[in-house]
Amino acid sequence: MRATILSMPDPAEFALNTEHTTTRKWFGQTAGGEDVYLYKLENMQGVEVEISNYGATIVSLRVPDRTGRVDDVILGYDNLSGYLSEKNQYLGATVGRYANRIAGGRFALNGKTYQVPNNDGPNALHGGKKGFDKRLWSVEQSAPIAAREIILRYFSEDGEEGFPGNLEVRVSFRLTDQNELRIEYLATTDKDTVLNLTNHAYFNLAGEGSGDILQHQLTLLASSFTPVDESLIPTGELRDVANTPFDFRHGTAVGIHIDDGEQLQRAGGYDHNLVLDHGGGKLALAARVTEPSSGRVLEVLTTEPGVQFYSGNFLDGSTTGKSGKSYDFRSGFSLETQHFPDSPNQPAFPSTVLKPDQRFQSMTVYRFSTK
């Protein structure tokens, strides 16, 4: 199992508590006429984050630079229509039921083969054609820190997008006074299933709409990666990063080797799973990114065993962001903390199977500072 396994949750953990409220504003309506809202959290340092209950999406995240200037460092849209568009590339969304790719959209579980819609060439990506990023989540609140926490919940029915089991998912976003955005995932199922959850935030620490991310300095605490075939499915090998473009252990500009070699040419840049040295299961530092011009620093901590580093290879300038500027090639990067791609078909990879007597629990932290 891919995260800490605990006893089944107390139903009271999911109960609505209305003692406190969170700043809320209307964001738009879905095609079915459902209202969608933005929930804003703000800490004592002036950091602000806005979360939408459509796709459990991080819409904006405003943090200071070394001079105190505050900018939005998350790619996204001014209104709901951008997120509903077919051109939206999972910007800021919670993705599942299975984040990343499943080869052929097929996997076997307990002797039965399941088929998920193929929405990425011959493979399934991020849960199929209508994954968690395209669902309306219900909103809960908790005491005593509700003013800086939003809790979202989604019930995924047995058979949704081809996955087995009725799945109860709970995601909380908490903003601390230490400039941390803490994301915690909880889930239970009534039937054996596979599960891989992450957030697909695209960062540009110079500010969204500020150009490419090639000068960002990246450190990844990963000594190996999972090379991919022509359709970006892992081959099953764990390859040492030494003497490859995937060696970010000591901090390297993203753009230095981004076009070097067959692996990067296949993906049009970085779109690969890095195997974290800490192995998962406990919250530990996975990555650190520094943007030289602003001095902003992002540290990513996670309980997950892997992180998919994606360099915005499919951004093509066809969408306009909140800044009013187009999101061009490589204008944002993602560090998707998760289990490995295609794990249901890779017995040697850490398992992503969730059983009815288990509880899925995972945490990722985005911590901001300056230098």
Whether 200 sits among the annotated catalytic residues: the reply is: yes
Of 31, 11, 21, the closest CA to residue 139 belongs to: 21
240: exposed, middle or buried (Cβ count in 10 Å: 0-12, 13-18, 19+):
exposed
Q: What is the DSSP letter of 98?
A: B
d(CA 208, CA 310): 16
Q: Which residues of 330-348 are buried (b: 16+ CB within 10 A; e: fewer)?
A: bbbbbbbbbbbbbbbbbee
Which residues touch 250 (CB under 8 Å, ≥6 apart)?
219
Q: What are phi and psi of 307, to 5 degrees?
A: -145, 130
Q: Which of 50, 140, 149, 336 is catalytic?
A: 336
Q: Which of 126, 149, 200, 304 is catalytic?
A: 200
Q: Is the dihedral of CA 215, 305, 61, 76 positive or negative?
A: positive
CA distances from 177 to 44, 63, 105, 230 (A): 6, 12, 42, 44
**Catalytically active residues, by annotation:** 200, 336
